[in-house]
Structure 1
């Protein structure tokens, strides 16, 4: 079964898993906002996430920061190039406004990875700013982009959904922040470094509750949305309560990132059972 382990390892390291998480969030947005997201956007987001995340991973240590993918694993490198080619193809099928939004998010991702000035550190090393950049990029890609693509106006409900998605991403980042607590330099001043692990958990639980309560501020609210978001909130709270300080190798990179996939599968089951 050694081959199965190698396939799974590639699945995680090549960012296929995180790409599935992103498109799962995209599916949740289509359900909660009652919009029909075209397959071209699903495929663009899926294939575009792979090279983006692989580049970020290769430059994580600050080395080869301008040519991270050129020095990484060859298989992942060529897989990223192939994915980028597919993303470019499906990108041609999207509207100009959507691609403008993609450009803005891409610029944020680049500034997160590469310092604006070679002598300065990247935004990745800026502690709290880092997590908000990641959360905004995920929320923008999975809520705002599909709304723009279907030419739906940015209504009150869209902004509520965007804020909720941002809060969910912030909470999902807590396990990663705690995992990296022992390796992050003190000058980064991440949330666990500032508050400690216990208070960081409490903050995450508060964000979960705020995010869920925001559901009832929407103008149009469906029963399955309340059910779906209650499951999301409860599972996130459970994650924070039982989150181990010493995590298994794939705990954050697989199980935590699988949460959106589980949520999307659960909601799909509800919609098909009705």
Structure 2
């Protein structure tokens, strides 16, 4: 039992779970496009997310995460270096326009943690900006890259889907923001710091409703898209009203981040059995 818990903790601590969540959202985009998933792109997204998140978690935001031992930390570092090598390998299999988009998203991710100029603030420390950067980068990886990979146009439906994906990520971030209130510097002016716990959860519900209603602005709807977005919206609202559970490490790090995986599974089941 202890071994299983150690494996599960590593799965969470090494950002494998969040990487699965991001490729699940990319998988949803491929379903919406009616295109088969590109293994090389999914491999690149998976390993690059691990590298990026571990760099931020155990560098910039290390004060939030309890490392049980130095040896455990080194194992995660080694895993991150191996993931970086795999990310480069998969990136080299992709088209040049994917490289350009990746550079832009990568620069934004880097500036989130590292200041552009000496004595300048990184993007994370600009009051209120943090979650919007994360949402934009996640949407870039899970919507823009699959669309470019499938050689689709950046049209109106793309814009609506991109905004919806940013909203989805913002909603998923809110439980982390609420949990991290006790650690975050007040100068960050996170939404829970500005609005309070209760109003932040209410905002999450409003974002969820907007996320769902934007579906009807699209020119072309996937056959089961409205229903599956409604189910996803219900799951998100249930998270927003789970006040006490947001303080639990496993609720936020596992169950909340599992929502995109659940959403992808809904699409997979709908296309496989209906």
Shorter-chain TM-score above 0.5:
yes
CA distance in 2, matches of 1:186, 1:38: 42
Where does residue 67 of structure 2 map in the other structure? none
The alpha-carbon distance between structure 1 residues 20 and 272, as it changes in their structure 2 partners (threshold 3 A), is same
Please give the per-residue CA displacement for 1:158-203, whole angstroms capped at 9, x wherever unaligned.
1110000000000111100000111112111111111111111111
Where does residue 6 of structure 2 map in the other structure? 6
Query: Which runs of no fewer than 5 residues in structure 2 stay unpaired?
Result: 64-69
Q: TM-score, normalised by structure 1?
A: 0.93
CA distance in 2, matches of 1:72, 1:107: 29
Question: Which secondary structure state, in structure 1, belongs to the residue aligned with residue 249 of structure 2?
Answer: coil
Residues 128, 191 of structure 2: 8 Å contact kept? yes
- Report deviation, 1:222: 2.6
Where does residue 98 of structure 2 map in the other structure? 98
The alpha-carbon distance between structure 1 residues 96 and 265, as it changes in their structure 2 partners (threshold 3 A), is same
Where does residue 175 of structure 1 map in the other structure? 175
CA distance in 1, matches of 2:254, 2:76: 17
Matches within 5 A, 1:77-156: 77-156=77-156
Where does residue 249 of structure 1 map in the other structure? 249
CA distance in 2, matches of 1:11, 1:272: 28
Q: Quick check: 230-239 or 241-250, which moved more?
A: 241-250
Where does residue 264 of structure 2 map in the other structure? 264
User: CA RMSD for the aligned pairs?
Assistant: 1.8
- Report deviation, 1:122: 2.2
Please give the per-residue CA displacement for 1:99-133, whole angstroms capped at 9, x wherever unaligned.
10001000000000112233233222224211100
CA distance in 2, matches of 1:61, 1:23: 23
Moved over 4 A (4+): none
Pairing 1:212–2:206 present = no
Residues 178, 245 of structure 1: 8 Å contact kept? no
The alpha-carbon distance between structure 1 residues 264 and 62, as it changes in their structure 2 partners (threshold 3 A), is closer
Query: Which runs of no fewer than 5 residues in structure 1 stay unpaired?
Result: 64-69
Residues 127, 191 of structure 1: 8 Å contact kept? no
- Report deviation, 1:72: 8.0
Where does residue 240 of structure 1 map in the other structure? 240
Please give the per-residue CA displacement for 1:8-65, whole angstroms capped at 9, x wherever unaligned.
11111111111100000001111123233311101111111111111011113479xx
